[in-house]
Amino acid sequence: MKRSFFLPAWMLVILTVLSQLGLSQDGSAALMEQGNTAMRRGDTAEAVRDFSGFTQSQPSSAEGFFNLGLALQQAGRLEDSLSAFHKAQSLQPTLRGVSLFAGIVNYKLNRLSDAHKMLLRATQLESKNAAAWMWLGIVELAEDAPDLAVSSLDKAVQLDPNNMDILYHRGRAHLLVSKESYSAMFKLDPDSWRLHEVVGQADAEASRTDSAIHEFSVAVRGAPHEPGLHEELGDMYWMAGKYQEADDAYAEEVKIDPANAIAKYKLGSLRIMQNEVASGMPLLQQALVAAPELNDVHYYLGKGDAALGNEEAAIEQFRMATSEKNDEELRIMSWYQLAMLYRKMHRTQESGEAMAAFRKMKSARELRQLTKFQEQNRRRDQLPVEDSIPADAGATSP
C-alpha cells in the first residue's frame, strides 16, 4: 500500500513555558528559552544543542526531553528523537503529546506495530485530540486495516471537521472499505443485481446517465420487487429527459412501496411538469402528509394550483416554497412565479416586490462559482431543474 510520509506544519508543537517548569532564571532556563526561539525560527541544529544542554543540567525534566525529541525529529534524527521521547515518557508517563509524536516517529521509521501502540495510547490519554485520531487512522491504513481506520478517522472528523488532511485520509479509508465490500460481492456472485445497482450508483454520481440506466435496468430485472431500485432508475430516466419512462419507473416504485413519500413526490412533480395535474396533485398532497419536511413539494403544488386556475392557493404554495429551508433553485423560481401571478392579477406592487426578490436571488446565485463536487452531490429528494427561467427574465419591470 502506498503511504504518505509527512509531518504537517500544524503538527509542530513547542511545549513548555518557563513557569510550567518552575525553573529559576538561571543558565538552564536560558537554554530552554533559546531552544524554543531556535525552533520558532526553524533553526533545528541550534535547538538540538540548546535542549541537549538543558537536559544535561536538568536530567529529570520530562518536558526538556520532549522538546529535545521534537527538535531531533525536525532535524531528521529519528532514532535519537525516539530515544528522547521514550525518556520523557519514562519520567512522566502522562505528559501530553509524547505518545502522539513517538507514534509519528515510529510510523516514519516503518515500525507500524510500535506506532499503533503509541498512537492508541495517545487517543486514550487525549480523547479529544483530533491529530491523535488522525495519525492512528493513518497507521491503520498502512497496516491494511481500513475498517479500523474508518472508525479512527471518523472520530477525528467529528473533532476537527474542517481539517483537509483528516478529510483526505478519511475519504481514502472509506473508499478502501467500499472496494473491499464490492470485491467480496463480486466473488460471491459476479452476476448479482446488487453489483449492477452499485455500478449504476457510481455511474449516476459520475453523470454517466445512459450507463446508469443500463445498470439499474439490469438490477430491476434481477430484483423486480426490491424497494428503491425503480426510484433510482426513474431518476436517471428523468435526467435523460425520458419522462414517460421515468413516470413508469416511479409508478412501479409507489406500487411496490406505497409508503415511499419521496417516490410519490417525484412522480407527482413529474406529472405536474407534464401537465397531468389531476393525477399529480393527489400524489404531492400524499407525499406532504407522509413527509412534512419535503418543503420543495410546495413549489409543484403551486404549479398545479396555477394550472387549475386556483390563483390564491397557488400564491400561498409559492410563498411557502420561498422558505429558506427549500432548494435555492426552487426558491428563485417561486419568486418568479409569484411575480407572474401577481402581474396576471393586476397586483402591481406585489408583483414588483416578488420580481425584486427574484432578481436579487438570481444575481447572487450567478456570482457564486459552484464546484463540480457540490454540483454532483445532490440530495436524494432534490429533483432535476423543472424548467429554466429565461436569461433575461426580470430585465424589465412587470
Encode burial over 106-130: b for 16+ CB neighbours within 10 A, e otherwise. Answer: bbbeebbebbbbbbbbbbebbeebb
The contacts found for 282-290 with CB under 8 angstroms, 24 or more apart, are: 283/254, 286/261, 287/261, 287/262, 290/259, 290/261, 290/264
pLDDT score, position 1 = 42
Measured at the CA of 200, the angle between CA 197 and CA 206, to 5 degrees, comes to: 150
**How many other C-beta atoms can be found within 10 angstroms of the C-beta atom of residue 10?**
9
Please state, in angstroms and as integers, the Cα–Cα distance from residue 88 to each residue in 48, 63, 66, following that order.
Answer: 15, 7, 6
**Per-block average pLDDT, block size 10, for the chain (398 residues)?**
40 38 58 84 88 90 91 92 93 92 94 95 95 96 94 96 94 89 86 91 89 95 96 96 97 96 97 96 96 93 96 96 90 96 96 95 80 53 59 47
Nearest CA-CA partner of 263 in 380, 378, 386: 380
List of domains in the chain: 9-184 (1.25.40.10)
Residue entry with cell 518552575:
22
Helix, strand, or coil (residue 255): helix
* One-letter amino acid of 369: Q
Q: At what angle do helices 229-239 and 209-222 cross, to 10 degrees?
A: 150
In this structure, what C-alpha cell is assigned to residue 279? 393525477
Nearest to 60 by CA among 95, 31, 30, 90: 90
C-beta atoms surrounding 228 within 10 Å: 17
In terms of Cα–Cα distance, which of 99, 109, 83, 23 is closest to 58?
23
- Whole-model pTM: value is 0.61
Tell me the C-alpha distance between 314 and 204, whole Å.
34
Distance CA(209)–CA(232), nearest Å, equals 11
Please tell me the distance from the alpha carbon of residue 153 to that of residue 133, in angstroms, as a whole number: 6
- Per-residue model confidence (pLDDT) at position 398: 37
Residue 206 phi, psi (nearest 5)? -90, 10
3-state secondary structure of 238: helix
What per-residue confidence (pLDDT) applies to 178? 87
